[in-house]
Structure 1
């Protein structure tokens, strides 16, 4: 038994080391980074929004986009064969605003229900080289959103990763958990991008030049995969030279988080099912992070239960939580999510349980994708 506990203790130290490396040398690159202000350019931009049966969201959010304080942009609205009143609303906006271009997508047997097909038509219809993407259920932080996102385009930086936040709901613990998961995801993809290994972005707030889209033949390599119009594209097209990040609060977009755990769980299933198509290194680093996190906590519980080197184990456990709390706290502060800092240990545990549940569920059934 002593030998087994010794082996578990060594493994505990190894997993702690991995966790320390992630937080001290990777995630800290974002958490302690300073906001970099870009240079206003007034370049021609096409804002692209794809909608399928999103009448209520479009009615609420489109006024935020048509009132953007930017001198040279068009708004490309894509109706992906909606069966509600979305198309009628979009046609009304097209009549009232000359800078709106409406793309009507009819059901195609080969690409039925595939958002990537609809987005491809919208991208081809866009007249401008610079493209800015968000979703129909999102709205910008303010009227300077386009201006703020485009300031980070340069001759070399042609892909910009933004932050898509969720609205805060007072008194809702689920809302806080969802926002914590969103912050942690952002800390990860922003940090890896800052060290030259961008691996994903979110379609709620993403910008790139049209040439980047055609350089990788668009979504063709993963067209059969329903999800991933944002993260799979970035995983394929982004690199250390062409990608930058923008986490200035004026660049944020906001949307309404899921209201029930069941809805959020379905959303998580779609995200996880897409990650398996990432590049080998990206799957490895994501898997290593989760495995080291899980086994660190499990082994800590076992070693403490048997009181094996319990002072050392307890000290390392305490240090890990305090250190990680600082890194997560600074990240939350940058993303204007300070109210999440207090419950980090609880959020981490609940998110871990949810992720395990998602992995197991996805082994036995496929998640539902685009509407």
Structure 2
């Protein structure tokens, strides 16, 4: 009796890969991202220690004029605000002197010459951390505005019980236009990843616009020395190197948000994204594997969907898997958007996902051809 083997055509192989990619995507949505989607915050005790807020600023006169009063006006007994003026050539120095005379919480550290040998934010940030009076540090940027006067209190609450790192959320302000939707979608998507993975005990990054950690942890890790040659990574590479399952928590109370001013031109945003992407290759291998597998299965899903539909191969199964993933994606995104208080993005998510996939490949190619190395 002759044994008949199944015919493994090219379309069958592509279909099999498509099925595996789809289930891998579903695994990420329902195993990882659902942690943020169904996250319930718990009550935490207020921190009894002092806190040092650190802001690095280079030519940020107008942002400092607008946002510094909001930071200095936080409801907290024992805190200082350190602004590192990194060789600004606008009127920032005079503005900061005026603020410093009027507010006892403010401490200004001025770098008069361009001594930033590391071509990034790490040098001025290190100066600010060394100048800090307190062990608990809260970082933000000059163009960020806290959502409330309880930002400081809530971002640092709960750091009493062995917590060394608090990851916050830093959304972008909502304005009209396609670019703003893309920026807010990308911010939401990144937040879904780093917050969900952190809840799973796999903290791989934080966002320097809204991030707290201990000064003692910084010095224990020898600061940024392990990646000082990388222009970016003052937030994600540092957190990638020091975070553990037990020393990190997230804080997503809407009172703790720090809103950033979004870029208004695609070119400036593209340059910013190139700089951020360049740090990813220095992540720990396990994080590169987890993040890379997610991005690769995402790419395979869309790359194989179109040829399978055109070839009309197992059409019912292919469409069923597409609908299953789409439903899972929109359901998890809707829940995460509710948790993070984001609006106006849900229906455009599939389109923006494809757009960002293409953009990520373009960014990767650009970084291969030339190195992004400027902070300001």
Q: 1:33 aligns with which of 31, 39, 44?
A: 39
Change beyond 3 A, Cα 1:122–1:259: same
Residue 325 of structure 1 corresponds to 330
Q: Following the alignment from structure 2 to structure 1, what is the Cα–Cα distance between the partners of residues 256 and 116?
A: 36
Q: Provide the residue aligned with 1:115 in structure 2.
A: 121
In structure 1, the residue corresponding to 2:148 is in which secondary structure?
coil
Q: Of 162, 175, 180, which residue of structure 1 is paired with 2:168?
A: 162
**Distance in structure 2 (CA, Å) of the matches to 1:338 and 1:66:** 29
Alignment coverage as a number of residue pairs: 370
1:42 CA drift (Å): 3.7
Give the TM-score of the pair, scaled to structure 2: 0.96
Match of 1:85 in 2: 91
The aligned residue for residue 281 of structure 2 is 276
In structure 2, runs of 5+ residues without a counterpart are: 1-6
* Aligned match for 1:302, one of 276, 286, 307: 307
Contact 1:19-1:292 at 8 Å conserved across structures: yes
The Cα offsets for residues 207-234 of structure 1, whole Å up to 9 and x where unpaired, read as 0111110111011111111111111110
Query: Is the CA contact (8 Å cut-off) linking 1:129 and 1:209 kept in structure 2?
Result: yes
Match of 2:232 in 1: 227
Which whole-Å CA distance do the structure 1 matches of 2:281 and 2:357 have between them? 18
Matches within 5 A, 1:37-56: 37-56=43-62
Out of 250, 254, 274, the residue aligned to residue 245 of structure 1 is 250
Deviation, structure 1 residue 2: 6.4
- Partner residue, 2:142: 136
Question: What is the TM-score of this pair, normalised by structure 1?
Answer: 0.97
Conserved? CA contact 1:266–1:368, under 8 Å: no
Structure 1 unaligned residues grouped into runs of 5+: none
User: CA-to-partner distance for each residue in 1:293-322, whole Å, 9 max, x for gaps?
Assistant: 011111111111100001100110011001
Instruction: State how 1:1-371 maps to structure 2 within 5 Å.
Output: 3-107=9-113, 109=115, 111=117, 113-169=119-175, 171-371=176-376
Query: How far is 1:109 from its partner?
Result: 4.8
Secondary structure at the counterpart of residue 353 of structure 1: helix
Q: CA deviation at 1:180?
A: 0.7
